[in-house]
Structure 1
Amino acid sequence: MTRITANRRAFIKTSAAGAAVLAAPAIFRGTPARAAGVVNVWTYANFLPKEFKEEFQKETGIQVQERLVDDQGKQFNLLTAEQPNPTVDIVTVAGHRFLQFIDAGLLAPMDTGRLKNWGNINPVFSESDWAIIKDQKWGAPILSGAEVLAYNTEIVTPEEAKSWDVMFDKKYEGQTAYIIQDMMSVMMLYKGYDGNMIEYIDNPEKAAEIVKETRDFMIANKSMVRKFYDSGAEIQQMFVNQDVVLAHAWNGPISKLIMDGLPVAMTIPKEGSYGFVYTFNIPANAPNADNAYTLLDALLARPEIGANMTRTSGFISTINGAEQHLTDLEKKASSFTEVELAGLQFFRAEANDMKYKLVDPAVEEIKAA
Structure 2
Amino acid sequence: MTKLTINRRRFLGTAAVGAATLASPAYLRRANAAGGEVNIWTYNDFVPEAFKKQFEADTGIKVNIRLVDDQGKQFNLLAAEAPNPTVDIMTVAGHRFLQFIDSDLLAPLDTGRLSNWANINPTFSESDWSTINGNKWGAPILSGMEVLSYNTDLVSPEEARSWDVLFSEKYKGQTAYIIQDMMSIVMLKMGYDGNMVAYLDDPEKAAAIVEEAKAFLIEKKPLVRKYYDSGAEVQQMFINQDIALGHSWNGPAAALINDGFPLAMTIPKEGSYGFVYTYNIANNAPNADNAYTFLDAILASPEIGASMTKASGFISTYKDASQYLTDLEKKSTSFSDDELENLQFFRAEANEMKYGLVDPAVEAIKAA
Instruction: State the TM bucket, normalised to the shorter chain.
Output: over 0.9
Contact 2:22–2:304 under 8 Å retained in 1: no
Q: Does 1:365 align with 2:364?
A: yes
Letter in 2 for 1:368: A
Instruction: Name 2:72's counterpart in structure 1.
Output: 73
- How many angstroms apart in 1 are the aligned matches of 2:199 and 2:25? 51
- How many angstroms apart in 2 are the aligned matches of 1:270 and 1:96? 23
Within a 5 Å distance, the mapping from 1:317-328 to structure 2 comes to 317-328=316-327
Within a 5 Å distance, the mapping from 1:94-243 to structure 2 comes to 94-243=93-242
Compared with structure 1, are the counterparts of its residues 23 and 188 closer, same or farther at alpha carbon in structure 2 (3 Å cutoff)? closer
The CA deviation at 1:31 is 2.8
The CA deviation at 1:101 is 0.2
Contact 1:27–1:55 under 8 Å retained in 2: no
Within a 5 Å distance, the mapping from 1:3-22 to structure 2 comes to none
Deviations 1:144-188 (A, max 9, x none): 000000001001000110111111221101111001110000010
Within a 5 Å distance, the mapping from 1:316-355 to structure 2 comes to 316-355=315-354
- How many angstroms apart in 1 are the aligned matches of 2:232 and 2:211? 30
Deviations 1:92-126 (A, max 9, x none): 00000000000000000000000000000000000
Compared with structure 1, are the counterparts of its residues 253 and 138 closer, same or farther at alpha carbon in structure 2 (3 Å cutoff)? same
Task: Provide the TM-score with structure 1 as the length reference.
Answer: 0.93
Moved over 3 A (4+): 20-23
The CA deviation at 1:84 is 1.2
Letter in 2 for 1:58: A
Instruction: Name 1:15's counterpart in structure 2.
Output: none
The CA deviation at 1:357 is 1.1
Letter in 2 for 1:262: F
The CA deviation at 1:290 is 0.6
Contact 2:173–2:225 under 8 Å retained in 1: yes
Task: Provide the TM-score with structure 2 as the length reference.
Answer: 0.93
The CA deviation at 1:24 is 2.5
- How many angstroms apart in 2 are the aligned matches of 1:329 and 1:346? 25
Deviations 1:6-25 (A, max 9, x none): xxxxxxxxxxxxxx998625
- How many angstroms apart in 1 are the aligned matches of 2:278 and 2:64? 18
Instruction: Name 2:301's counterpart in structure 1.
Output: 302
Letter in 2 for 1:277: V
- How many residue pairs align between the two structures? 350
Contact 2:138–2:281 under 8 Å retained in 1: yes
Compared with structure 1, are the counterparts of its residues 169 and 29 closer, same or farther at alpha carbon in structure 2 (3 Å cutoff)? closer
- How many angstroms apart in 2 are the aligned matches of 1:31 and 1:136? 29
Instruction: Name 1:16's counterpart in structure 2.
Output: none
SS in 2 for 1:248: strand
- How many angstroms apart in 2 are the aligned matches of 1:223 and 1:276? 29
Instruction: Name 1:244's counterpart in structure 2.
Output: 243
- How many angstroms apart in 2 are the aligned matches of 1:352 and 1:44? 22
- How many angstroms apart in 2 are the aligned matches of 1:133 and 1:242? 43
Instruction: Name 2:6's counterpart in structure 1.
Output: none
Compared with structure 1, are the counterparts of its residues 357 and 31 closer, same or farther at alpha carbon in structure 2 (3 Å cutoff)? closer
The CA deviation at 1:127 is 0.3
Deviations 1:172-212 (A, max 9, x none): 01111001110000010011100000000100111111111
SS in 1 for 2:275: strand
The CA deviation at 1:27 is 4.1
Letter in 2 for 1:134: N
Within a 5 Å distance, the mapping from 1:284-303 to structure 2 comes to 284-303=283-302
Contact 1:272–1:345 under 8 Å retained in 2: yes
The CA deviation at 1:36 is 1.2
Compared with structure 1, are the counterparts of its residues 216 and 351 closer, same or farther at alpha carbon in structure 2 (3 Å cutoff)? same
Compared with structure 1, are the counterparts of its residues 27 and 285 closer, same or farther at alpha carbon in structure 2 (3 Å cutoff)? farther
Instruction: Name 2:9's counterpart in structure 1.
Output: none
Letter in 1 for 2:314: F
Compared with structure 1, are the counterparts of its residues 27 and 87 closer, same or farther at alpha carbon in structure 2 (3 Å cutoff)? farther
Letter in 2 for 1:121: I
Letter in 2 for 1:209: A
Deviations 1:206-256 (A, max 9, x none): 111111111111111111100000111110000000000110111111111
Letter in 1 for 2:60: G
Instruction: Name 1:276's counterpart in structure 2.
Output: 275
SS in 1 for 2:318: coil
